[in-house]
Amino acid sequence: MSVLTGIASECQQTRSQLQNRDTAMRMLRARLYQSMMGKETEQRLTARKQQVGTRSQAERIRTYNFSQDRVTDHRTGYTTRDIKEFMKGGEELEELISDLLEHSEQEALLEAVEISSFVTGQPAD
């Protein structure tokens, strides 16, 4: 049994204890590898879903309204009233990028807290 994961493996195929132990260790390594690959796949799918989203109309990312001279990022609620400067890559764009980075860090922190509370079985405070 792996002490860190709690996964156990046993084998009684032959009369030789050494052969059974070797077979059990191979089975244990295979189970650990499969578990690890499953977790990595799940993490990749979660990250992709978070990046791509559902692509529905309600899931807008950003609106460029030229007639009102406004750019709005719907993920963070950021709005700027100088679309020309924004499109040139000026200070408004830098503000949006920093706002998005801050929002991403907050999301990652909340997700880490949720995962931690799920693993420990205690509600997040």
Q: What percent of the chain has pLDDT over 70?
A: 85
Q: What percent of the chain has pLDDT over 90?
A: 18
Any idea what the CATH number is for the domain that residue 84 is in? Answer: 3.30.70.1660
Out of 21, 39, 56, a domain closes at 56
Q: Which residues have C-beta within 8 Å of that of residue 59, sequence separation ≥ 6?
A: 53
**pTM of the full predicted structure?**
0.47
Greater confidence (124 vs 14) lies with 14
Task: List 73's β-bridge partners, or say none.
Answer: 62, 78
Residues 31 and 72 in one domain: no
- 54-95: pLDDT as tens digits: 666 666 788 889 999 999 988 888 999 988 888 898 888 899
Name the CA radius of gyration of the chain, rounded.
25
Residues 107 and 81 in one domain: yes
Question: Looking at the predicted structure, is the pLDDT value of residue 51 above 80?
Answer: no
Residue 40: pLDDT band with limits 50, 70, 90: very high
**How far apart are alpha carbons 21 and 5 in whole angstroms?**
19
Out of 14, 41, 56, a domain closes at 56
What pLDDT, on a 0 to 100 scale, did the predictor assign at position 114? 81
- CA proximity to 24, closest of 41, 6, 43, 1: 1
> Which domain, by its residues, includes 30?
1-56
Number of structural domains the chain divides into: 2
Residues 41 and 94 in one domain: no
Residues 96 and 35 in one domain: no
Residues 46 and 66 in one domain: no
The structure tokens listed for 5 are 């994961």
